[in-house]
Amino acid sequence: MNTEGKVFKYPDNVDTDVIIPARYLNTPKAEELAQHCMEDIDASFVKQVQPGDIMVAGWNFGCGSSREHAPLVIKTCGTGCVIAKSFARIFYRNAINIGLPILECPEAAEEIAAGDSVQVDFDSGTITDLTSGKSWHAQPFPPFIQNIIASGGLLASLKKEA
């Protein structure tokens, strides 16, 4: 599995309140929520993002609220992958559970610039910046988590076991 796209770059401690402000959480509908993804720190994101594009961020991405709406809107916008120096733990869990690909790679997250074209190979964990020509290897997921992802999310994996 691969994704390739343009990079949207964000700072440290991007919280779930800016990923999807709570004022919109009066609906569980992903398409409706996704229109407001990143609105409070990057109002142009939703207009510019193309399928497969990549978010690159600093430390502690997705901190704050447990709202699963956060990884859900990022995925629904067509984002192919989020690369960060680190993820807040509930966001990390939620992303795996709903099938939003995420990679923890501090070096890549530091060096990749906004607007670069980046390719990610999820099987090997290889991140390639096609603009700068550099590449990195992200930490692979433990087999237990790979199984959840391969099954298509947590509930699908539970159904498979049952």
Partner 1 sequence: MQGMTMTQKILAAHAGLASVEAGQLISAQLDIVLGNDITTPVAVNEFEKAGFDQVFDPDRVAIVLDHFVPNKDIKAAEQSKQCRTFACSHCISHFYDVGKMGIEHALLPEQGVVTAGDCIIGADSHTCTYGALGAFSTGVGSTDMAAGMATGKAWFKVPSAIRFRLSGKLPANCSGKDVILTIIGKIGVDGALYKSMEFTGEGVSSLSMDDRLCICNMAIEAGAKNGIFPVDDVTKVYLQGRSEREPVIYAADEDAEYEQTIDIDLSAIVPTVSCPHLPENTRAAAELSDIRIDQVVIGSCTNGRMEDMETAYRILKGKKVAEGVRCIIIPATMQILKECIERGYVSTFIDAGAVVSTPTCGPCLGGYMGILAAGERCIATTNRNFVGRMGHVDSEVYLANPATAAASAITGYITDPKEA
Binding site for partner 1 (CB under 8 A): 13, 15, 17-18, 21-23, 25-28, 40-41, 59-60, 63-69, 71-72, 86, 88-90, 93-94, 97-98, 142, 144, 153-156, 158-159
Q: How far is the CB of 97 from partner 1 (least distance, A)?
A: 4
Q: Which two tokens stand for residue 149?
A: 């992802």
Rounded to an integer, what distance in angstroms lies between the CA atom of residue 89 and that of residue 86? 9
Q: How far is the CB of 116 from partner 1 (least distance, A)?
A: 26
**Closer to partner 1 by Cβ: residue 94 or 119:** 94
Q: How far is the CB of 17 from partner 1 (least distance, A)?
A: 5
Residue 32, strand partner residues: none
**Closer to partner 1 by Cβ: residue 7 or 98:** 98
**Closer to partner 1 by Cβ: residue 131 or 145:** 145
Residue 7, strand partner residues: 54
Q: Strand 54-57's sheet: what is its strand order? A: 102-104, 81-84, 54-57, 2-9, 117-121, 126-129, 135-137
Rounded to an integer, what distance in angstroms lies between the CA atom of residue 43 and that of residue 68? 21
**Closer to partner 1 by Cβ: residue 17 or 121:** 17
Q: How far is the CB of 153 from partner 1 (least distance, A)?
A: 7
Rounded to an integer, what distance in angstroms lies between the CA atom of residue 45 and that of residue 148? 29
